[in-house]
Amino acid sequence: MTAVTARVPAKVNLQLSVGPPGADGYHDLVTVFHALALFDEVTVAPADTDSVVVSGEGARSVPLGPDNLAARAVAALVDAVGPGVRDAPGVAIEIRKRIPVAAGRAGGSADAAGALVACNELWGAGLSHQELGEVAAKVGSDVGFALLGGTAVGLGRGDRVTPALAAGAYHWVLAFAAEQLSTPAVYAACDRLRAGRAGQSDAGGEADHPGPPQLNTALMAALRSGEPAELGPLLSNDLQPAAVSLLPRLRQALAAGREHGALGAIVSGSGPTCAFLGRDGTHARDLAVSLAGAGVCRTVATVTGPAPGATVISAAAAGGPGTRPAGPEAGRPAGRP
């Protein structure tokens, strides 16, 4: 094999319930992930030394050294399988970004999943879905879901993922901010806001002690119905107040979406991207035009969900004529079934 390319989806959290921080600093989560048909592409090829090049959306703010999540994923795979798995001293990783770099590492989880799937194929390592998932969890909380795709429940750090029963296709508008937000900063702001409110409740204000997070059963029922009108009002994100407190302009973007008839309007994950649910494809396109015109964000995109997880889309054999093209038979999910 001379090069393998994988395609990996963006995601939105339909529910993101955040418990108190644990001893390791991570928060216990209950989340519902939903993969979106907006894809980065990751190509890996044998090389004399390790390298990462990034092109496309926000490429300049992606780290190119060993800190790059795709490079860390490759290192984690070598650790898991043993150095003998490599067919050359290094790996050249090429990332073509269409998922905007919204936070320091956002979209990086997708690229890590792409690198795992692509190297698994390049080296013929033969790791199963589950084995790749175990490596993914060591790289970052969202990497396991980027492998799986579709709609899934995430527990723990968000790294324990189980596919969810979900019907239908949904039409979303994503509004990308000009600014970036760091994920740890947003979690820290969430803790501060909660501590502040708990202090007020001690002085007679409203209580806000987060209990253990729970899966929203009404949201799961809405997903089974496949009805956007049922799903929209149930979208929730505990990190939203924190993201809005750090970037108050997000409030205007969310309000503009609701004004233009979005069935649901939320900050996606730790932000700053906002996601709006349309009634159908036409409504989503109208919503995107209105949001772009309202001047509340840097750029907008219409996307559908759910989308498949990390998938090999082409593989070029050594001495072969070129790439095996993408297509239903070539595009297959990560690992052995």
Residues identified as active-site:
11, 142
Among residues 43, 68, 141, 290, the one that binds ligand C5P under rule CB under 6 A: 141
* C-alpha separations of 19 from 79, 86, 139, 194, 313 in Å: 32, 40, 22, 11, 38
Spatial CB neighbours of 233, under 8 Å, sequence gap ≥ 6: 263, 264
* C-alpha separations of 209 from 78, 136, 196, 237 in Å: 42, 32, 11, 16
Q: What is the DSSP letter of 326?
A: P
- Which region, judged by CB under 6 A, interacts with ligand C5P, from 48-56, 165-173, 181-189, 311-319? 181-189
Using rule CB under 6 A, residue 187 touches ligand C5P: yes
Using rule CB under 6 A, residue 140 touches ligand C5P: yes
Half-sphere exposure of 146 (CA within 13 A, CB side): 34
- Which region, judged by CB under 6 A, interacts with ligand C5P, from 23-31, 209-217, 226-234, 247-255? 23-31
Using rule CB under 6 A, residue 158 touches ligand C5P: yes
Using rule CB under 6 A, residue 26 touches ligand C5P: yes
Give the Cα separation of 81 and 84 in Å (integer).
Answer: 8
Neighbours of 55 (CB within 10 A): 11
Q: Is 333 exposed, middle or buried (0-12, 13-18, 19+ CB in 10 A)?
A: middle
Among residues 43, 68, 183, 268, the one that binds ligand C5P under rule CB under 6 A: 183
Which tokens is 63 given? 């780290």
Spatial CB neighbours of 264, under 8 Å, sequence gap ≥ 6: 231, 232, 233, 234, 235, 275, 276, 277
Among residues 27, 97, 260, 283, the one that binds ligand C5P under rule CB under 6 A: 27
Q: Considering the complex, state which of residue 242 and residue 253 has its C-beta at the smaller distance from ligand C5P.
A: 242
Please report how close the Cβ of residue 142 comes to ligand C5P at its closest, in angstroms: 6
- Which region, judged by CB under 6 A, interacts with ligand C5P, from 90-98, 182-190, 283-291, 296-304? 182-190
- Which region, judged by CB under 6 A, interacts with ligand C5P, from 136-144, 217-225, 280-288, 325-333? 136-144
Please report how close the Cβ of residue 272 comes to ligand C5P at its closest, in angstroms: 15
- Which contiguous run of DSSP H or E holds residue 198? helix 183-202
Among residues 86, 157, 171, 260, the one that binds ligand C5P under rule CB under 6 A: 157
> Binding residues for ligand C5P, per CB under 6 A?
26-27, 29, 140-142, 157-158, 183-184, 187
